[in-house]
Chains A and B, each alone.
Chain A
Amino acid sequence: MKAVPQSAAPGGAAFMAGDYVVRIDGLKVHFPITSGIVIQHRIGAVRAVDGVSFDIRKGETLGLVGESGCGKSTTGRAILQLIKPTEGHVLYEGADLARLRGGALRRQRRKMQMIFQDPYASLNSRMTLADIVGEPLLVHKLRARNKRDERVRELLQLVGLNPNTLNRYPHEFSGGQRQRIGIARALAVEPNFIVCDEPISALDVSIRAQIINLLKELQGRFDLTYLFIAHDLSVVRHISDRVAVMYLGRIVELADNDKLYGEPMHPYTQALLSAVPIPDPEAEEQRRAVVLAGDVPSPADPPSGCHFHTRCPVAQEGLCDVQDPELREVRSDHWAACHLISADDYPHIRAGEREPDETALDGSTDDGAETDVSTGGVDW
């Protein structure tokens, strides 16, 4: 696929420059597949992220949803340069992070942070809270040595932890408390942009709300901008201002929370939303999930044209399988990448065209993004 033209960056012209915190333009992350024992040669690439462009506006929470393996976490990591993008730009505070290295990169991304999915793996088990939360203060010289502990206590208190636990180790805390430690560490650098990479999916259901509320409260208090990556559609709806839907390394739809959930235009988004269970037994009984045929194609060999055409119930031969759909503004501030959306109409996927089978529903209860398990087949 050719790089998405600059103009395709959503909102590129819709609002004034300076309104965004991070602008991602034509981001690609390809992981090479190599072969050979002594001399390795490249035989292909997994296109985890394949041309993604969007803006993250100041003070907003942008939700990023999609199935497992669609590239949403890779996108988050590539923005922070934890994975170097193969191609594309990440504009942040007047610099292209993708072009920076070493000390320049460290300084430039100081105010960017991440909250990790696994609160166990993301905290160094051999360091005390004072060292974990105080390290950013030390490496960026944000506080004098004798003021550091005071600041660590302040940060711990801010996320709702006992400030006197600074000599404790992560294993002495529960999952939710560990996630609070991770949040305190992220706040230590006084960030303005935080990537939340499925921050609650590893947590007990009973404490998810606490963490979400904490994130929301901190956002208001410190004027934070979030990129909230998740596969739980209802959580994303709760916390986000805008939502982007990813499929196989590309963004298929990006719109306001209300617009996306109220009137999804892309066939994939429609299928995805129809799979969300409704917490009302009677309504749930009536719900007909759109069950997509087939499996997600391999990102090492994505389909031609629209990546979704192999599973799309309304795909048109000669158009969708040939031409790449551009992410364009189909309605005011509503972006979608589908050929079939016109100025006055868009494809309606008829729910209930096929009987949703049991497995499909089971799959969707814990993972809203799981739209298809109907074939249950492995693509041999």
Chain B
Amino acid sequence: MEPPHLFDGPAEVRAEAADGMSDATLAWAADAPLISHRSTWQEVWLRFRKDKFALVGLGAIVILILVAVLAPWIAPHDPTTQFNDGLTAKGQPVGSSAKFLLGTDDLGRDLLSRLMYGARVSLLIGVLANGFALVLGVIFGLTAGYFRGWVETVIMRATDVMMAFPIFLFALALSAAINKPSIWIVILVIGIVYWTPMTRVIHGEVLSIREKEFVDAARLTGCTNRRILFRHILPHLVAPIIVYTSLGIATTILFEASLSFIGLGVQPPTPSWGQMISEGQAYYLAAPHLIIYPGLAIMVTVLAFNLVGDGLRDSFDPQQRRR
């Protein structure tokens, strides 16, 4: 028997099969209203909006972005001003007060304002560097896995070389070559470092998907290689891509701190979350709030991206049970 959901029409269902076979499983209501065709993105949104956690994550990301963009207008203080009343008589950072909502750091600067300005750098790096790595990884992985042959050999051996190369040496060489620390170099370096594992993952997945019969069917249908790659194979890669990218965002935000430590990337006094944590480490006993608040900020960001990522992954998979 047919599961009832196949009947989109009204209750009175007329059995009618193409060759006159009386076959109830193939019945449809002749006077049922015509259902219009929904696009893939409409389908994804229909499923996504039912996922409460993902919506919360999306809300958090929107708030974080608003804070970063509006920082100059909503931050209570200038992030680089060292306040005289921002340190105790002994030179210790002060805790929460009406003036400094989250206290001050070791140089007497307002922590809340620094967090708000830090969101600009950290979010930009987290999103753009990962986006860059993702685009490179997907393009190279798809190309290598689908076309095989010498293209595959060149791309995959190049990834091996990149993976074997020391990251910091590479970053140093690049910063020396450009000789002007900037956030864009950080994004470039992280993107170049992180595309290699993504390429490997995608390459492996494509190798198995390209052998599926629906790819042959698409080829017979007359699809070009580009259409097969992006319409037929890529949608099956959404899960690994999202898992890998949401992991990457946390790693990247912290990696930026290491890079600024060796003199690449944003320079003090411009704040970034990773940098605030590494500076605060020296005072973790006397003033734990110096690492707790930026740590929380990173955690919330990563959690938000993970929730949205999970929601997206489920929304792209039509076989996922709706919550």
Do these two chains really belong together in a complex? yes
Contact surface of A with B, Cβ cutoff 8 Å: 77, 80, 82, 106-107, 109-110, 112-114, 116-118, 121-128, 130-131, 134-136, 139-140, 148-149, 152-153, 157-169, 171-174, 177, 182, 185, 188-189, 210, 213-214, 217
Contact at B37–A167, with CB atoms within 8 Å? yes
Q: Which of B236-290 contact A (CB under 8 A)?
A: 236
Give the Cβ gap from A71 to chain B, nearest Cβ, in Å: 17
Nearest opposing residue in chain B for A77, CB measure: B216
The interface residues of chain B lying within 8 Å CB-to-CB of A113 are 220
Contacts of B217 in A (CB 8 A): 114, 116, 122-124, 182, 185
Which residue numbers of B lie inside 8 Å of A, CB to CB? 3, 5-9, 17-19, 21, 23, 25-28, 32, 34-38, 40, 43, 212-214, 216-224, 227, 232, 235-236, 316-319
* Contact in complex: B319, A169 (CB < 8 Å): yes
A172 to B3, CA, bound (A): 9
Known: A153-B34, A177-B26; 11 extra A-B contacts, CB below 8 A, are A82-B216, A82-B220, A106-B224, A122-B213, A130-B37, A130-B38, A149-B36, A160-B19, A172-B3, A210-B23, A213-B21
Neighbour of A109 across the interface among B23, B40, B220, CB < 8 A:
B220
| Residue in contact with A165 in the complex, picked from B6, B218, B223, CB distance below 8 Å | B6
Q: Tell which of A128, A158, A163, A217 touches B38, judged by Cβ atoms closer than 8 Å.
A: A128
Contacts A130-B37, A139-B222 known; A114 to B26 CB distance under 8 Å? no
User: Would B220 and A114 count as touching, CB distance under 8 A?
Assistant: yes
Shortest CB distance B216–A (Å): 5
Q: How far is the CB of A53 from chain B (nearest CB, A)?
A: 23
Q: Which residues on the B side are within 8 Å of A167 (C-beta)?
A: 35, 37-38, 43
A124 partner residues in chain B, CB cutoff 8 A:
214, 217-218, 232, 235
Closest approach, in angstroms, between the C-beta of B222 and any C-beta of chain A?
Answer: 5
Contact of A136 among B37, B222, B236 (CB under 8 A): B222
B222 touches A164 (CB 8 A): no
Give the chain A neighbours of B5 by CB distance below 8 A: 172
Q: Given the complex of chains A and B, what is the CA–CA distance between A117 and B216 in angstroms? A: 12
Shortest B1–chain A CB gap in Å is: 10
Asked if residues A139 and B34 are in contact (CB atoms below 8 Å), the reply is: no
* Contact among B35, B37, B220, B236 for A126, CB-based, below 8 A: B236
Q: A121-B213, A124-B232, A126-B318 are in contact. Are A164 and B221 (CB under 8 A)?
A: no
